[in-house]
A = this chain, B = another copy of it.
Amino acid sequence: MTTPRRHEADVIVVGAGISGLIAARTLLGAGLTPLILEADERVGGRILTEEVMPGLPVELGAQWIGDTHHRMFALAAELGVQTYPQYDEGESSYDLVGSGVMRGNAFQAKFESELGELERVFRLLDELASEVSPEAPWLAPRAAEWDAITAGAWYDAQGLSPVARTLLEICTVGILAVPTVEASFLHLLFTIQTCGVTAELFAESEGGAQTTRFVGGTGEIPKRLAALVSDHIVLNTPVQLIEHTADSVTVHCRGGLIASARRVIVAISPTLAGRIMYDPPLPGVRDQLTQRVPNASAMKAFFIYDEPFWRADGLNGQLISDVGPARMSNDTCLPGDDHGVILLFLEGEQARTYGRMPQEDRRAAMTAELVRHFGDRAARPEFYVDGEWSDRQWTRGCYNANMGPLVWTAYGHALSTPIGAIHWASTDTATFWSAYMEGAVEAGERAAHAVIDELAK
């Protein structure tokens, strides 16, 4: 990894997240020379594995893959990264709408009818989502109607009990990382459809998005991918300006590096792509799109104990609650390690509220919540770490781009359509498991193949 002042390549890739790395590797495989320009001092983008104790990596960013993430399974196998299943034994712990803390079995018995409501909503969502093409959600027959209401307003109109409505909010915020009133209902349906069905999106169990983890940490994926293209990556090099013609680009970076190529693939989230200066300037529709796709607000916090003491109580480490700082948690222990690890998710309003507190204050609030659900031992972790993404200059929010009302229908077609020599990647532009690592691979491959086809002409 060198930093010459002038660089030439066939294709410049902006961003060394999964999408950019995959694009570069695909280009290299086709005999083209890529150059990845990464603003940060590291590769991986929204993947960030930190080894907080020897042999104990925690995932401050992307963590899981699910059973239908075929590209990611294949990639892991190719890179020699082993996988293991997410722990999922025992009861969850609930506290919803004033129920007080209740164990899962009791909760399910007491709220059987409310859970039935939820199932009916999921079936209806699946039915409606099946009318939405992930390639072009704005073409759905009822796109105009669905894009003109928020997901939250649609939920509110379903006549649900407080418990069902609250659970629905928690499930959905767990995916979108914004309150449902910030998302267009069409965007929710798009999200469901890119993932298959609600059962896959919302479940952690079989068929869900979060069934499987990587030995050594998710960071092994970008690390090993980067090793395959290591001669073609420059770190610490934020792109400031892309000059472009129909068949060439010149990319100017902070620090003085100037790189020329025949194409550029911008493999960063759309909101960040909108901060680059383009010359000639991009069309208004593309520019107004990137003003309207804010990254969501998510934060993860890890409590590491001497052992997973909750398991002995028949608990699975998952809390689901509408009080306190975290709406959900789970057991994130590592195979072959004795520590007990609880991960708390702060998403949407919780990420915003608690993410702006001093760390010790939010830690104290989360500790109190863990003690309520898992007992006094929860107050004595060996280690604590959390990670907020909106403060990170080269990410600025997780998990992905949110679409408010009328964004998909008025601007969606500009999301991944190339403009001259400029192509767009990042998981936010994917059509299968958009927002997930799986989508990042798809988007990187799609952009690279489009460029390969163009340059072969």
Contact = CB atoms under 8 A, between A and B. Distances in A.
A70 B285 CA distance: 36
Contacts of A390: 284-285, 287-288
Contacts of A152: 148, 405
Given A284-B356, A284-B392, A287-B391, 12 more contacts: A148-B152, A179-B405, A283-B391, A284-B388, A284-B390, A284-B397, A287-B396, A288-B295, A291-B295, A291-B396, A292-B294, A404-B404
A352 interface: yes
Contacts of A274: 275
Nearest to A282: B393
19 contacts: A148-B181, A149-B181, A150-B405, A178-B406, A179-B406, A240-B241, A240-B277, A241-B254, A275-B275, A283-B391, A284-B389, A284-B390, A284-B391, A287-B397, A288-B294, A288-B352, A291-B396, A352-B410, A404-B404
A439 interface: no
Interface in A162-195: 178-179, 181-182
Nearest to A241: B254
6 tightest A-B CB contacts, nearest first = A284-B390, A291-B294, A281-B393, A284-B391, A275-B275, A181-B405
A104 interface: no
A297 interface: yes
Given A295-B288, A295-B291, A254 B277 contact: yes
Interface of A: 148-150, 152-153, 178-179, 181-182, 238, 240-241, 254, 271, 274-275, 277, 281, 283-285, 287-288, 291-292, 294-295, 297, 349, 352, 355-356, 388-393, 396-397, 404-406, 410-411
A288 B397 contact: yes
A138 B178 CA distance: 18
Nearest to A183: B405
Contacts of A405: 150, 152, 179, 181-182, 404
A327 B178 CA distance: 33
A271 B291 contact: yes
B182 A404 contact: yes
Contacts of A287: 390-391, 396-397
Interface centre among A241, A291, A411 (most CB of B within 10 A): A291
A397 B152 CA distance: 28
B238 A277 contact: yes
Contacts of A241: 240, 254
Nearest to A410: B352
B297 A288 contact: yes
Contacts of A182: 404-406
A153 B153 CA distance: 8
A153 B148 CA distance: 9
A181 B397 CA distance: 24
Contact of A406 (B181, B356, B393, B396): B181
A99 B349 CA distance: 45
A391 B149 CA distance: 27
A152 B150 CA distance: 11
Nearest to A147: B181
A275 B287 CA distance: 12
A391 B404 CA distance: 22
B291 A179 contact: no
Contacts of A179: 148, 405-406
B404 A285 contact: no
